[in-house]
Structure 1
Amino acid sequence: MQAYRFITNDDTSEFCHRVTEALSKGWELHGDPQYSYDEKRGVMRCGQAVTKHSDETYSKDLKLGQL
């Protein structure tokens, strides 16, 4: 199965740590990072898609972050 996640967070080091953690667990970057300004909160938001091949069988109950 090909698993897909879209990691999001405010534009802080926490976002970079989340993406780095995913990469250290075998996830691969998929496309360019995305940025958007959240006017309501007054902060920049970041997003990065990642993918990973897995031998798991797909289920809606599957916890993607645990692959």
Structure 2
Amino acid sequence: MKAYRFLSEDDTADFCHKVTEALSKGWELYGDPTYSFDAARGVMRCGQAVVKEVDAEYSREIKLGQL
């Protein structure tokens, strides 16, 4: 099964660390990163989709961050 996650965070080093951690666990980048302004909080937000091929059957109970 191919698992999909969308990682998001404020535009800080924390976002880069979140993506780097996913890559170190075998996830691969999927598409380009996205940026959006959160007007309510006055900050930029970043997002990046990642995918990973795993040996499992899909279930809504799967904890994607633990794959």
**What is the aligned residue count?**
67
Amino acid at match of 1:36: S
Q: For residues 29-66 of structure 1, what are the alpha-carbon distances to aligned partners after superposition, in whole Å with 9 as ceiling and x for unaligned?
A: 00000000000000000000000000011100100010
With normalisation by structure 1, the TM-score equals 0.98
Identity %: 70
Quote the residue 1:55 is aligned against: 55
In 1: Cα distance, 2:65 partner to 2:29 partner: 14
In 2: Cα distance, 1:27 partner to 1:45 partner: 21
Which of structure 1's runs of 4+ aligned residues deviate more than 4 A? none
1:5 counterpart = 2:5: yes
With normalisation by structure 2, the TM-score equals 0.98
Unaligned runs of 5+ in 1: none
Query: RMSD of the TM alignment (CA)?
Result: 0.4
